[in-house]
Amino acid sequence: MQPGYQRCGTGPRVNCIVDGDTLWNDGVKIRVADIDTPEVSEPRCAAEKALGDRATVRLMELVNAGQFQMHSRPGHDEDKYGRKLRVLVRDGRSLGDILVSERLARTWTGRRQPWC
């Protein structure tokens, strides 16, 4: 059974959600590899912050809805910030794809695009 995830606070980060595409799992920082979501810590406009908050809450709902697996992509284990790059999958479907279908994320194309 996977642990329950809450939003990350100021204490130790073991199993928590940072934002719509970043979480901590067993003390390891994970970047959801197949999506990009709006920023919540340094948004460029109010609309980005609002959408980022919705994506964060939705990611928390998705990871807490049941067992999921984390898959790495060959040659893409870690990003330049030291986060592990993983695709989160439940029942053969990417949780990132669910966020994209709900317009809370974009498919990752290799570079950030503006949300404002």
Domains and CATH numbers, the chain: 6-107 (2.40.50.90)
Among residues 48, 54, 58, 83, the one annotated as catalytic is: 83
User: What CA–CA distance (Å, rounded) separates 66 from 106?
Assistant: 23
25 membership: H or E segment, kind and range:
strand 22-25
Note the pLDDT of residue 104. 97
User: In this predicted model, which residue has the larger pLDDT, 73 or 42?
Assistant: 42
Instruction: Judge whether 83 counts as a catalytic residue.
Output: yes
User: What CA–CA distance (Å, rounded) separates 12 from 43?
Assistant: 24
Instruction: Judge whether 103 counts as a catalytic residue.
Output: no
Q: What is the pTM of this model?
A: 0.92
- Give per-residue pLDDT as tens, 77-106: 999 999 999 999 999 999 999 999 999 999
Note the pLDDT of residue 100. 98
Among residues 31, 54, 58, 86, the one annotated as catalytic is: 31
- Give per-residue pLDDT as tens, 2-37: 668 999 998 889 999 999 999 999 999 999 999 999
Instruction: Judge whether 112 counts as a catalytic residue.
Output: no
Whether pLDDT at 1 is above 60 = no
